[in-house]
Amino acid sequence: MADVTQRTLALLTILQTGRTFSGEELAARLGVSPRTVRRDVDRLRGYGYPVATRPGPGGHYRLTAGAALPPLMLGNEEAIATLLGLAALAATGSAAEGSLDDAATRAYGKIEQYLPKRLRYQAARLRASLETDTAPAPSATAGVLGSLAEAIQHRQVVGFRYERKDGEVTSRRVEPYRQIHLNLRWYLLAWDRDRRDWRVYRIDRITALRASTDVFTPRPLPSGTAIDYLKEGLHRHRERVVLTVEAPVAAVADAFRYQEAELESLGERRTKVLLWLDTWEWLLPSLAFLDVDFTVDEPPAFRAAVADFGARLRGCG
């Protein structure tokens, strides 16, 4: 019986990759006959797993989505990665009821208690050894994200109330295209029907979301990707800054880890840095910790400001 159980679980692991498999291919992988594969597939169906079969020439087996969620088989690494991902997500936001971080906390506990004994002990040790710093971030709700995903899939126009940065609340009616996760915040890229233009909305500021029966014809995205468009908007009022730093790219990446910087290695100990900043002062902490020579290539105003600051430091010495 143990061999049958082990073989059935191995079959389930193969089918959960989402591919289609012929009976001969499954038999070869499991080292059994096609008849045994058919019996094991029947066992999986009896456990509630929806395995679709296409008989005849070119036939195959495939695990399909079902109405019920039967036990999920995870390998050791997959289970640990899932728990770590949930722990990291749980450390963001306000833990408000219905928020993603609150859902992640609850999901962590549910998955942990159903792990096999050997993995449960490992997960417990991992949890006891892990400290995750709380990363304050606006909480988005799983319900809103799920509803927007559904509207994007079916090209449905949605309406919602939106709180602007200044606190004013307005009603919007948009064609949703993409949800974006950037810097611990969730955004929606959409075509605003009233303003006849592309807009990006913070999802944590969306309330009273409702999908209409109106459908829309997709438009070309305003940029290569939704993330590109969002970054262009975030950088609109910032200065493009280019530096040459006399340090290896790995050291520069570590120094600028809290800033969105593009790095290009110019040799073993020289790196080009491109970033977008509001003011030149944001350069100082990262460059000070590097303790190497550097040149501000552009813009000229930043180069002059840094030079003046350096002169003031020399005067203090």
Condensed to tens digits (0 to 9), the pLDDT of residues 35-49 reads 898 888 888 888 778
Q: What is the pLDDT of residue 93?
A: 66
- Per-residue model confidence as pLDDT tens digits over 7-29: 887 888 788 777 888 888 899 98
Residue 2 has pLDDT above 50, yes or no: no
As a whole number of angstroms, the distance between CA 187 and CA 227 comes to 10
pTM above 0.75, yes or no: no
Band of residue 265 on the pLDDT scale cut at 50, 70, 90: very high
Distances (CA, A) of 11 to 14, 91, 127: 5, 36, 31
The pLDDT value given to residue 198 = 94
Mean pLDDT over each residue of the chain, to the nearest integer: 84
- What is the SS3 assignment for 222? coil
Q: Is the pLDDT of residue 69 over 70?
A: no
Residue 174 contacts residue 205 (beta carbons within 8 Å): no
pLDDT above 90 coverage of the chain, percent: 32
pLDDT digits (tens, 9 = 90+) for 212-256: 999 999 999 998 888 888 877 777 778 889 999 999 999 999 988
pLDDT of residue 67: 45
pLDDT at 297: 94
Position 5 pLDDT exceeds 90 = no
Q: Where are the alpha helices (DSSP H) in the chain?
A: 2-15, 23-30, 34-46, 76-90, 100-113, 117-129, 142-154, 226-234, 249-255, 283-290, 300-316
pLDDT band for 274, please (50, 70, 90 cuts): very high
The pLDDT-based confidence of 103 (bands split at 50, 70, 90) is confident
Comparison of pLDDT for 293 and 9, the residue scoring more: 293
Q: Do residues 290 and 252 lie in contact, with contact meaning Cβ atoms separated by under 8 Å?
A: yes
Q: For the chain, state the CA radius of gyration.
A: 27
Residue 162 pLDDT grade (very low, low, confident, very high; cuts 50, 70, 90) = very high
CB atoms within 10 A of CB 265: 13
The structure tokens listed for 126 are 């991992």
More confident residue, 220 or 93: 220
Residue 114: predicted pLDDT: 65
More confident position, 308 or 5 = 308
What confidence category does residue 53 fall into, taking pLDDT thresholds of 50, 70 and 90? confident
Mean pLDDT of 254-261: 84
pLDDT digits (tens, 9 = 90+) for 136-159: 677 788 889 989 999 999 999 999
Q: Which residue has the higher pLDDT, 298 or 76?
A: 298
More confident residue, 210 or 112: 210
User: In this predicted model, which residue has the larger pLDDT, 134 or 196?
Assistant: 196
